[in-house]
Amino acid sequence: MEQTLYEKVGGEAAIGKVVDYFYDELVLKDPTVNHFFEDTDMDKQREHQTKFISFALGGPNQYSGQSMAKAHEGMNLQPNHFDAIVKHLHDSLAHFGVEERDIDQALTRVEALRDDILYQ
């Protein structure tokens, strides 16, 4: 039986490390997108993001947050913002040794959310 991406990456604990790197080393240092997180409870954000990415990678559906459209309402995110986040996710997964084909599969799932996130 083939492993899910979630299992290949190492489960929720490993994804939590990816999420920490994603925010600490990339997103929060990127002036293109860091201003969106100025008033964000980052502990809560990391928890939601870890559960969301876990689900997106084929893990258990523990994500109980708002819909993507509702969560991004009023932010008026543009394609360059979405693309920056996708690049940071790619780089975070690569940093932890996830194979490129697996990253591509994960990012395809994220890309499917583009219309729910942009221009809200």
Q: Please write the tens of the pLDDT for every residue from 11-40.
A: 999 999 999 999 999 999 999 999 999 999
Q: Report which of 106, 117, 23, 99 is spatially closest to residue 59, judged by C-alpha positions.
A: 106
Give pLDDT tens digits for 60-105.
866 666 788 888 888 999 999 999 999 999 999 999 999 999 899 8
Q: Please give the Cα distance from 3 to 9 (Å, whole number).
A: 10
Predicted confidence band at 118 (pLDDT cuts at 50, 70, 90)?
very high
Is 95 among the annotated ligand-binding positions?
Answer: no
How much is the pLDDT for 65? 67
CA atoms within 13 A on the CB side of 107: 20
Mark out the alpha helices in 10-117 (DSSP H runs).
11-21, 42-56, 68-71, 79-95, 100-111, 114-117
Residue 104: Cβ-neighbour burial (10 angstroms; 0-12, 13-18, 19+): exposed
| Lowest-confidence segment of 42-46, 55-59, 111-115 by average pLDDT | 55-59
Q: Which amino acid is at 8?
A: K
Q: Report which of 30, 40, 31 is spatially closest to residue 72, judged by C-alpha positions.
A: 40
User: What are the residues whose beta carbons fall under 8 Å from the beta carbon of 119, sequence distance 6 or more?
Assistant: 76, 77, 78
Is 72 among the annotated ligand-binding positions?
Answer: yes
Domains of the chain: 5-117 (1.10.490.10)
